[in-house]
Amino acid sequence: MKSTLLKLLPRPLYLLLKAVHLRVLNKRSQMRRALRETAISGDEFARNFREAQHRFHDDPSVMTEFLKSHSLHDFWLYFVDSQNAPHYRMQWGERMMSKFPMDTWVYKHLIETSKPNLIIEIGTQRGNSAIMLRELSRHLDTAVVTFDILTPDDSVIKTFDDHGITFFNTDATTAKAVDDILSLGIEADDIRALIIDDGSHKEDHVIETFALLKRFVPEGGYFIIEDGFTNELMDKKGFLAMQGVRHILDHHDDFHLERGFDDFFMMSAYMGILKKSGKAPAQQ
Cα–Cα distance for residue pair 273/182, rounded to 1 Å: 24
* Chain region(s) in the chain for CATH 3.40.50.150: 99-276
Cα–Cα distance for residue pair 270/263, rounded to 1 Å: 10
Over its length of 284 residues, how does the chain's per-residue pLDDT go in tens digits?
445 555 455 545 555 566 566 555 665 555 555 555 455 678 889 999 999 999 999 999 999 999 999 988 889 889 988 888 999 999 998 899 999 999 999 999 999 999 999 999 999 999 999 999 999 999 999 999 999 999 999 999 999 999 999 999 999 999 999 999 999 999 999 999 999 999 999 999 999 999 999 999 999 999 999 998 887 777 676 788 999 999 999 999 999 999 998 888 899 999 999 999 855 555 54
Convert the pLDDT of each residue in 94-135 to its tens digit: 899 999 999 999 999 999 999 999 999 999 999 999 999 999
Cα–Cα distance for residue pair 86/42, rounded to 1 Å: 11
User: What pLDDT is stored for residue 2 in this prediction?
Assistant: 47
**CATH architecture observed for domain 99-276:** 3-Layer(aba) Sandwich (3.40)
User: What pLDDT is stored for residue 24 in this prediction?
Assistant: 58
User: What pLDDT is stored for residue 229 in this prediction?
Assistant: 86
Report strand pairing: 255-257 vs 222-225.
Answer: unpaired
User: What pLDDT is stored for residue 41 in this prediction?
Assistant: 74
3-state secondary structure of 34: helix
User: What pLDDT is stored for residue 284 in this prediction?
Assistant: 45
* Among candidate residues 284, 283, 223, 282, the one with its CA nearest the CA of residue 252: 223
What is the identity of the amino acid at 220?
G
Neighbours of 150 (CB within 10 A): 8
Contacts by 253-262, CB closer than 8 A, 24 or more apart = 253/278, 253/279, 254/278, 255/214, 255/223, 256/280, 256/281, 258/222, 259/283, 261/106
